[in-house]
Structure 1
Amino acid sequence: MMSVTPLAALSDNYIWLLRQDSSDRVCVVDPGDAAPVIDYLERESLTLDTVLITHHHHDHTGGLGALIKRYSPRVIGPDNPTIAGITDVVGAGDEVRIMGRLFEVFATPGHTLDHISYFSAGIPPLLFCGDTLFCAGCGRLFEGSFEQMFDSLQRLAELPEDTLVFAAHEYTLANLEFARQADPDNDDVRHALEECDKARSLERPTLPSTIGRELKINPYLRTHSESVRRAAGEQGKNDNDLATFATLREWKNRF
C-alpha cells in the first residue's frame, strides 16, 4: 500500500512524499525547497530514492541541488536542460515505476511548455499534476496557449472520477471564491468552500481533491455549463468551450 504525505514548503507549496508500505526508501514530487524534505527524512529515518519533477519553475526544483548532493536520488523529469540533475528524461506516453507502482507520463503544457503530469491507475488512482490542475482552479499561462492548457485539462478530466488529485499549491480557498463568481448557480461550490474553509482553519490541507469533485466545482472543467457560460459571457466572448475557458482564465488573472 502506498501512502502520500504532504510536506508544506515555501509560502503555499506542497511537496508530496510517496512511501510504499514499510519501506525506508521514498519518492518526493517537486521539491521546491530541500529543508522540509531533509527534516522529514531525518526524523523518520528514511532515504530519498526518487524525485519526480513536473516543470522547471524554481518553486518546484529549488531543492534539487541539495537533495542530489545528500542522497543521490534518481531524478525523473521533462526534457528541459535548464533543470539541473535530471537522470531520467520522460515525456508523453512514457511509463515509470515508482515505489512499486507504474505511472504514465502525460504532456500537460499550458502553465509551461515543458509541463508533464504523472498518473497511476492503481487503487486508488493517483495524479501528480504540478501547476496544471488545482482544486477548483488551474495554473496561470506563463508559456503555453489557451488551447494547450484547455487540452491538458480535458485530458485530465477524462481520468477515473476516483483519481486522487495531488496539486502542488494550497490555492483552494482563493480558487473557490472565484468559482462562486464564475459558477454562481453551483451549490457544490458553496459546500466545498465551507468544507475547505473549515479544513484551513484547522491547518489541514484541502488536498488531495478527486477528478469527480473537480468535475463538479472547477469552472475550468465546466465550460459547457450554462451557469459558467452565462457568467463568462458577462466578461467577454464565450461562444464555445475554448473561448469560455480563455475568458475565465483572463478573468481570474484580474480577480
Structure 2
Amino acid sequence: MIQVLPIPAFNDNYIWLIKSGPQAAILVDPGDGQSALAFLKQHNFTLNAILLTHYHLDHGGGVAYLQQHLDHPIAVYGPKWQPTPVGKKAPQKRCPDTFIEVGDGDSIVINQLTFNINAVPGHTLEHINYVLQDEVTHVFCGDSLFSGGCGRVFEGTMGQMYHSVSAYGNFPDDTQLYPAHEYTLSNLAFAHQVEPDNQHITDAIKQVAKLRQQGIPTLPVTVAHEKRINPFMRCEQASVLQAVQVHFAEVTPSPEMVFSQLRKWKDES
C-alpha cells in the first residue's frame, strides 16, 4: 500500500512525500527546501525524485536548495514552462535549471511506481497533476483543486479552470486527492454562503475545525466528499445555480458560467 506523508511548509502549504521504498521518497511541490530536507533527514529518507505541478515559487522554490544540499542527483519532473501572458497579474514562477519535461498523457516510472499525468490549466497555463494507482487512486493536485474550493485563475481562462476542476469528478469516488494548501476551513465558509442548507457542508465545517484545533491536516480528501461539499464541483446543482443567480441578480445560463461567477464571488469575498 502506498504511503503518503504531509510536510507542512510556510503558512499553509503541504509538500507531499510519497514513500517509494522502505526509506526512499518522492516529493511533490517542495516549495520550502529547508523544511523538506529536515523531514528527509529526520526520518532517514533518500530522495529519489521531485514532481512539480507548476512553477510558482511556493511549489518549486525549494528545488535548488535540495539539489545543493544532497550528495546525489535528483530527477526533477515538471511541465514545460510557459511565460505569464502579458497583462496577467500572477505570482512569479521560476523554471528549475534542469528538469525532465512531462505533459498531458505522459507516464513516468519511479522506483516501480507509475505516475500518469494530466493537464489541468487555469491557475497557470502549464499546470499538471500526477495520478498514482494503488488499491485506490491517488491524485496530486497542486493548486488546481482544494478541498471545498479551487485555485485562482491567474493565467488561464475560466473555461479552462472549469474543465480542469470538472475532470476531477470523473475519478472514482474513493480517489484520494492531495491539494497543496490547507485552505479547507476558509473554503468551507464560502461554500456555506453558497449552500447554507447543505448539511454535508455544515458537518464538514465542524469536523475540519476540530482537526485544525488539534493541528491535524484536513487532507487528503476523497472525490466523493468533494462532490458533496465543493461548490466548484457542484455547478450543475440547482442550489448552486440559484445562489449564483441571486448573488449577481442575473441569469446564469450554463454550468461553465456558474463556475466563472462562483470564482468571481470567491475572489471578491
Shorter-chain TM-score: which interval? over 0.9
Task: Write the mapping of 1:1-255 to structure 2, written as runs, cut at 5 A.
Answer: 1-22=1-22, 24-71=23-70, 72-80=73-81, 82-236=94-248, 237-255=251-269
AA of the residue aligned to 1:6: P
Runs of 4+ that moved beyond 3 A: none
The one-character-per-residue Cα deviations of 1:103-128 (angstroms, maximum 9, x if unpaired) are 11000000000100011232121000
Q: Which secondary structure state, in structure 1, belongs to the residue aligned with residue 109 of structure 2?
A: strand
* Deviation of 1:47 (Å): 1.3
Aligned 8 A contact 2:21 2:111 in 1: no
Change (3 A) 1:254 1:47: same
Distance (whole Å) between structure 2 residues aligned to residue 248 and residue 99 of structure 1: 41
AA of the residue aligned to 2:255: D
AA of the residue aligned to 1:151: H
* Deviation of 1:21 (Å): 4.7
AA of the residue aligned to 2:252: N
Distance (whole Å) between structure 2 residues aligned to residue 100 and residue 226 of structure 1: 45
* Deviation of 1:208 (Å): 0.3
Identity of aligned residues (%): 39
Distance (whole Å) between structure 1 residues aligned to residue 252 and residue 181 of structure 2: 28
Distance (whole Å) between structure 1 residues aligned to residue 205 and residue 97 of structure 2: 39
Distance (whole Å) between structure 1 residues aligned to residue 136 and residue 67 of structure 2: 30
For structure 2, the 5+ residue unaligned runs are 83-93
Aligned 8 A contact 2:212 2:218 in 1: yes
* Deviation of 1:215 (Å): 0.5
The one-character-per-residue Cα deviations of 1:79-123 (angstroms, maximum 9, x if unpaired) are 017411443110000001234321110000000001000112321
What is the root-mean-square deviation in Å for CA atoms of aligned residues? 1.2
Aligned 8 A contact 2:141 2:177 in 1: yes
Distance (whole Å) between structure 2 residues aligned to residue 37 and residue 209 of structure 1: 22
Distance (whole Å) between structure 2 residues aligned to residue 45 and residue 64 of structure 1: 19
AA of the residue aligned to 2:208: C
AA of the residue aligned to 1:77: G
The one-character-per-residue Cα deviations of 1:218-246 (angstroms, maximum 9, x if unpaired) are 00010111111111112234221001000
Aligned 8 A contact 1:105 1:119 in 2: yes
Structure 1 counterpart of 2:90: none
Distance (whole Å) between structure 1 residues aligned to residue 40 and residue 187 of structure 2: 32
AA of the residue aligned to 2:77: I
Distance (whole Å) between structure 2 residues aligned to residue 17 and residue 99 of structure 1: 14
Aligned 8 A contact 2:3 2:18 in 1: yes
Distance (whole Å) between structure 2 residues aligned to residue 143 and residue 183 of structure 1: 28
Change (3 A) 1:186 1:99: farther
* Deviation of 1:62 (Å): 0.9
Q: Which secondary structure state, in structure 2, belongs to the residue aligned with residue 230 of structure 1?
A: helix
For structure 1, the 5+ residue unaligned runs are none
TM normalised by structure 2 equals 0.91
Aligned 8 A contact 1:19 1:99 in 2: no
Q: Which secondary structure state, in structure 1, belongs to the residue aligned with residue 53 of structure 2?
A: coil
* Deviation of 1:39 (Å): 0.6
